[in-house]
Amino acid sequence: KEIKQKTQPKVFSLADIQLEASSKYGFSAQETLDTCQSLYETHKLASYPRSDCQYLPESQWEESKTVLTAIAKILPKFLPLIRQCNLQIKSAVWNDKKISAHHGIIPTGQAGSLEKLSDKEQKIYELLCLRYICQFYPPYKFYLTNVSLAVENETFSAKGTTTISPGWKAVIAQEKNEKEEEIPLLQEGQQLTLKDVKLQQEKTKAPPAFTEGTLIAAMENIHNAVEDPKDKKLLKDGDGIGTPATRAAIITELKRKGYLETKGKQIHATALGQQLLTVVPPLIKNPALTARFERVLKQVENKEVLLEQFLEIQKKFIRQEIASLFKKE
């Protein structure tokens, strides 16, 4: 039995808020992006949304009282949570070394009106606010209990958690509705009576279909789906497939062309999309190809490679792929 703690969740990147909104509300990736954009551009209630970062500049920690005051005025129902905030707490999310081109998506200190927000805007704004409020609550502390039971020549195990102090989990407890798997108090070497044994035959389940949110997350972490060590490292060092600003548009375009379709919250490849995959050359389907192109484009940006050189590489590549198709015919 060990005492553990879990620190505050990081603030949202675009991929994270798309995943959360898809899971909780069934929003498409594009809907979430558009809603975040309107909160930023039209209402001035959220920071720049097209970000892959989950951290905040340390200088913004001093603005937290202004932000929390604005949240309380716009969402009075969060006032009890805000009153319990400890503004002396500086979570790990405030870290200048982790900031990329943009910081994480958070509420601003701008005064606003809930009545001016659409239903979608209100839902996304609330998610941003709750994640921000979490930063001013202490870590979640709990007992982690692992049990090993010897029965004849077999060993059975179980584990569970028991809350010591909810900390930031008190902020999102209603949102997550998590249940603890509590383990009774036991002592090492204790003898127990085995009351019953049940044997169940189970089958492995196929991985669940993607939602737009989990697909965005998979695009961002595409290295997890690649086996070749070199390609895996290339993709892990890069941004995955697309960027925070383009991933939703990629999915939207694939749906527009009839390669993907949504069924409820889930997204599936259509018959046309599956047929396309049978004719596309393996190299074109390899996600590492995108990473390699992005790597060279980064070299172009840093003036290490001339743009003309990159274009020549692309032309040569296209000619080779077309020539290989004619050879097959």
CA 98 vs CA 58, 95, 265: distances in Å: 10, 6, 33
> Which tokens go with 5?
């703690």
The torsion region of residue 324 among left (phi > 0), alpha (psi -120 to 50) and beta comes to alpha
| Range from 41-45, 102-106, 116-120, 224-228 carrying the lowest mean pLDDT | 224-228
Residue 40 is a catalytic residue: no
Higher pLDDT, 261 or 231: 261
pLDDT at 174 over 70: no
Place of tokens 């692309």: 314
DSSP H helical ranges for 135-220: 169-176, 212-220
pLDDT at 160: 87
Is CATH 3.40.1160.10 the right assignment for the domain spanning 2-134? no
DSSP designation for 213? H
CB-facing half-sphere around the CA of 33: CA atoms within 13 A:
21
Q: How far apart are CA 221 and CA 136, in angstroms?
A: 29
Of 135, 133, 115, 108, give the one whose Cα is nearest residue 39: 108
pLDDT digits (tens, 9 = 90+) for 49-102: 999 999 999 999 999 999 999 999 999 999 999 999 999 999 999 999 999 889
Q: What angle do CA 236, 240, 245 make, to 5 degrees?
A: 140
pLDDT at 36: 97
Residue by residue, DSSP assigns 218-237 as HHHTGGGG---HHHHHHHHH
Using pLDDT thresholds of 50, 70 and 90, give the confidence band for residue 184. Answer: confident
Average pLDDT (196-210) is 92
Residues 6+ apart with CB under 8 A from 37: 49
pLDDT at 294 over 80: no
Average pLDDT (19-48) is 95
- Report the CATH number of the 212-328 domain: 1.10.460.10
Domain map of the chain by residue range?
2-134, 212-328
Using pLDDT thresholds of 50, 70 and 90, give the confidence band for residue 45. Answer: very high
pLDDT at 117 over 70: yes
Output the average pLDDT for the chain. 90
Residues 6+ apart with CB under 8 A from 230: none
pLDDT digits (tens, 9 = 90+) for 3-25: 999 999 999 999 999 999 999 99
Average pLDDT (210-221) is 91
> Which tokens go with 223?
């290295």
Please say whether the beta carbons of 11 and 132 come within 8 A. Answer: yes
Torsional sign, CA 223, 229, 231, 237: positive
pLDDT at 238: 67
Using pLDDT thresholds of 50, 70 and 90, give the confidence band for residue 179. Answer: low
Of 322, 233, 326, give the one whose Cα is nearest residue 283: 322
Classified as helix, coil or strand, 262 is strand
- Could you give the percent of the chain with pLDDT greater than 70? 96
Other Cβ atoms less than 10 A from the Cβ of 64: the count is 21
pLDDT at 242: 82
Q: What is the CA radius of gyration of the chain?
A: 25
Please say whether the beta carbons of 276 and 259 come within 8 A. Answer: yes
- Specify the pTM: 0.81
pLDDT at 183 over 60: yes
pLDDT at 271: 96
pLDDT at 178: 59
Using pLDDT thresholds of 50, 70 and 90, give the confidence band for residue 103. Answer: very high
Higher pLDDT, 139 or 296: 139
Residues 6+ apart with CB under 8 A from 165: 138, 140, 141
Using pLDDT thresholds of 50, 70 and 90, give the confidence band for residue 176. Answer: low
CA 11 vs CA 59, 114, 129: distances in Å: 16, 22, 10
Q: Which of 48, 55, 132, 143 is catalytic?
A: 48
